[in-house]
Amino acid sequence: MAAKRAEYRTERTLWNEGGPTMARTDDHHIRTAGIDVPIRIHRPTTEAALPGLLFLHGGGFSLGDLDTHDRIMRVVAAAGGFAVIGVDYSLSPEVKFPQALHECAGVVDHLAGHGEDLGIDGTRLAISGDSAGAVLTLGAGLLLRDEPETIGANPASFSALRALLPIYGSHGLIDSASRRLYGGDWDGMGIHDLSNLLDDYLPTPEDEHSPLVAHLTADLSGLPPVFVAAAGLDPLRDDCRALARTLQRAGNDVRFEEYPHVLHSFLHFGRILDDTTTVLHNAAAFAAHHLN
């Protein structure tokens, strides 16, 4: 696993070059869920207090860190005019569900109550993430709404969430046309690969049915506005489509965008791919509209 993480980090180095320059970037730790969780705050302006968007990186719950998604975070911060807070949650298989989820929700709770200590307006927060980070995005929102006591969170912290932005995540489908059509050994997104990722993340098979993981089974009513983005050639495309429809049926404000000609993980390729720039700017605009 150490070798896989090093390879992933090295491969992402090229794609993180360039991009917007921040007015200030700071690394901190927040004590929550029993550990000190590393965070990185990108501030595009020098304003004393900015609304904040937490970004939860992808990597199948087992790969990725604050560096592998750094350019993505800077692009969103610059485009939206708000602070972006990357969360370096604990990885699997060493740590199992729900630890990483508790860490992410705990960071939201901390910022809602003490954001001013870090120059963040704790009354104006959003959460976004790609792939595994999208799973954690929805899960954190649902946890803070329904079970804040499990992490000792203030029940009022949920009201600080102004938007959720899950991008090409898995949301509970067991089978689908896109899971059968796309992905394979060549990209680590085949049916067995996806199953193995969940096996590493979840302590028991029964946890796959938790509404904090299988969001399509959850009560999705009463959530803040949601921006859902899908990649058209992604095994998880149909999860994203189903999530958007289920959110709409539950009465939520939903914006759904599908980029038909791109693969899973296309957020990383902003140096060469126009669709990456488009979706990041659209997501940032959606978040900024609801944060301001």
User: What is the distance between the alpha carbons of residues 160 and 113, in angstroms, rounded to a whole number?
Assistant: 9
User: Are 68 and 118 in contact, with CB atoms under 8 Å apart?
Assistant: no
Specify the CATH number of the domain 1-291: 3.40.50.1820
In the sheet that holds 24-32, the strands lie side by side as 24-32, 35-43, 83-87, 50-56, 120-130, 161-167, 226-231, 254-259
Residue 39 CA to residue 56 CA, distance in Å, equals 10
In whole angstroms, give the CA distance from residue 252 to residue 243.
11
pLDDT in tens, the chain (292 residues): 999 999 999 999 999 999 999 999 999 999 999 999 999 999 999 999 999 999 999 999 999 999 999 999 999 999 999 999 999 999 999 999 999 999 999 999 999 999 999 999 999 999 999 999 999 999 999 999 999 999 999 999 999 999 999 999 999 999 999 999 999 888 889 888 899 999 999 999 999 999 999 999 999 999 999 999 999 999 999 999 999 999 999 999 999 999 999 999 999 999 999 999 999 999 999 999 999 9
Q: Look up tokens 């959110």; give the residue.
A: 247
Alpha-carbon gap, residue 277 to 270, rounded angstroms: 6
The answer to whether residue 131 is catalytic is yes
Task: State the DSSP string of 70-82.
Answer: HHHHHHHHHHHTS
Pick the catalytic residue from 131, 178, 210, 265. 131
**Domain ranges within the chain, ordered by starting residue:** 1-291
Q: What six digits make up the tokens of 267? A: 């957020």
DSSP state of 48: S
